Amino acid sequence: MSGSVRPHISRVRILYRRILQLHRALPLELKALGDQYVKDEFRRHKTVGPEEAQYFLQEWENYAETLYQQVSQNTQTSTSQPSFGSHLPEDKLNALRDEQVGQLRELMDEATKPKRQFNILDDGEYKT
C-alpha cells in the first residue's frame, strides 16, 4: 500500500468510528436510522475518485462536528427535549444530483414517520 493511501484510509476509519460514537447520543430511532445511513454511504463511496472522496470526507467531517456541538449543547440543557439536525442551505441543495435528492427525500420520509413498525426498547426496558 502506498504512503499516500494509508493516511486516507486511517482518516476514513477514524471519521466513521467518530460518527457512530456520536450517534450513541441520539434517540434510539434516529441512532438506528443514522447508523444504517452512515454504513451505506461509506460503503457506497469506497471506490470513488480522489476529488469526490475529499468532498465526501469534508462533508462528513462537517456533519460530525455539527453533531458533536448539538450533543454537547443537549447535554448541557438536559431539561428540555433534545434537538438534532439543521436546515440544508439552498446552495447545497441546488448542488445535489437527482439521485442525491431522491436519497435525501427517502431519508427525510423515514426520519419523520410518525410511528415505526416496531418498537426499539432502551437498555433495561422490556416488554411485558
Give pLDDT tens digits for 93-102: 898 889 888 9
Q: 21-59: string of b/e by CB count within 10 Å (b at 16+)?
A: ebbebbeebebebbeebbeeebeeeeeeeeeebeebeee
What percent of the chain is predicted at pLDDT more than 90? 41
User: Domain map of the chain by residue range?
Assistant: 5-85
More reliable by pLDDT, 27 or 4: 27
Q: In whole angstroms, give the CA distance from residue 30 to residue 91.
A: 26
